[in-house]
Every structure is written in structure tokens, then in C-alpha cells.
Chains A and B, each alone.
Chain A
């Protein structure tokens, strides 16, 4: 079965600084990978996704993520964070090939705090 590890429970970053959130996955085949963001009191919103092809994917709100098969990683990055980026971030992997992006398995999340 697939699994996702987000090793950082909580990260604090200064506004304007760069950000990298780590995600490692375990899956035998080529995974479908996702990053979601959850603002306080809200549901989860899709930031970006990777299925195949270019290993650097661009998402909404200025985020990007890089798929590294050799490291089983899909880290999320942003060059300069804004106070509004404070939220919880979830990495997820989808079963393939039979289900595609269905039946996602989520990591435990990383809470991001932004300080002035």
C-alpha cells in the first residue's frame, strides 16, 4: 500500500523568505502526487499535482513542487512567502494505475506559521 511521510509537523518562516515543505512517498509504480492547502476553518484546496512528464510542476499561489524519483520525494517550494500562506499543507499520493487519482492517501500535514 502507498504511504506518505511529511517529516515536519510545524515550520515557521519569516515573511518574504523562501519555503520548502518536505514530502516522501512510498509506492511501487509511478505515483500520482498532490499538494493541498487547508486554511483555518476551511476545506482543502488543490495547489498542484504531478502525474508524469516534467518533474517540476507549477501550481497556484506561486507554489511549485519537484518530483524526484530517486529520492521518492515531492517537495513543495515557494520563493517568497506571504502572511496569507499561513495554513496547513498536505501531501497526498494516489493509487495507480487502476484508480489514477482516486483514493488518495494523505500525509499527516505540515503547519506553516509566518512571522513578520
Chain B
């Protein structure tokens, strides 16, 4: 099994529908992140969570919400989907930086391709 699992892999939904993207990890990492990827824009941070009780907005959080149900699970919701939320969504995890060189960067899931029609 993958270290970071995202479900679903692909989803087509209609404008105005509520949709949830799920992420679970077996890395034991305390930090989890949601990014979206758009052509020509790279990856942009939506939300991040440093532990179960700590959730923070990223640079493009409008229209999104998240839930950290457990250390291993971090869900992203679109309350009322709109077409410009069509994108590739990535979940990532990381371990707390314990000092220079001891961090390992992110571990990414395989992504969820969301299309809003």
C-alpha cells in the first residue's frame, strides 16, 4: 500500500455539489497538507495541519474547508463546487523538522483529478 493514499483518484462533479477528497497516511507524520496544481501555476497551498488540533489556511483557502479526523487522516471539502476548482489536488505529509538536515521534505499522494462541470 502507498504511504499516502488519496481517494478518489478521479472525480467529475456538477457545479454547486458538495464534494470531499480524502487523504490517509501510514507514515506516522504529524504534518499534512493540501495543494492544488494548475497548469502554469505550479502547486499552491490550500490548507495545512501541524497536528490534529492545529489547522491553518494556505494561500488559496477560499471555497475550501478541511477536517483532520485523526493524525493519519486529512480531508478536503468543497462545499459548493465551481468550475474554476477543476484541478489536480495533492495531499502531502511531512515529519516535524528536528534540525538542519533532519527533515525529509514532503511525501506526496498520487493526486485526485477533480473536474467540475
Residue numbers of A with Cβ under 8 A of B are 6, 9, 32, 34, 36, 41-46, 49, 51-53, 90, 94, 99-109
**Contact A34:B40 (CB < 8 A) given known A52-B100, A102-B94, A103-B48:** no
What residues of A have a CB within 8 angstroms of the CB of B104 in the complex?
46, 49, 101
Pairs A–B under 8 Å by Cβ, sample size 12: A34-B105, A36-B105, A36-B108, A42-B111, A43-B108, A44-B92, A46-B104, A90-B42, A90-B43, A100-B103, A106-B43, A108-B40
B90 on the A face (CB < 8 A): yes
Q: Would you call B40 and A49 a contact (CB within 8 A)? A: no
Interface range, B side: 20 to 34
- How far is B104's CA from A23's CA once the two chains are assembled, in angstroms? 20
Q: Would you call A44 and B100 a contact (CB within 8 A)? A: no
Q: Would you call A32 and B103 a contact (CB within 8 A)? A: yes
What residues of A have a CB within 8 angstroms of the CB of B90 in the complex?
43-44
Q: Would you call B45 and A9 a contact (CB within 8 A)? A: no
Nearest A residue to B42, CB-CB: A108
Q: Would you call B105 and A103 a contact (CB within 8 A)? A: no
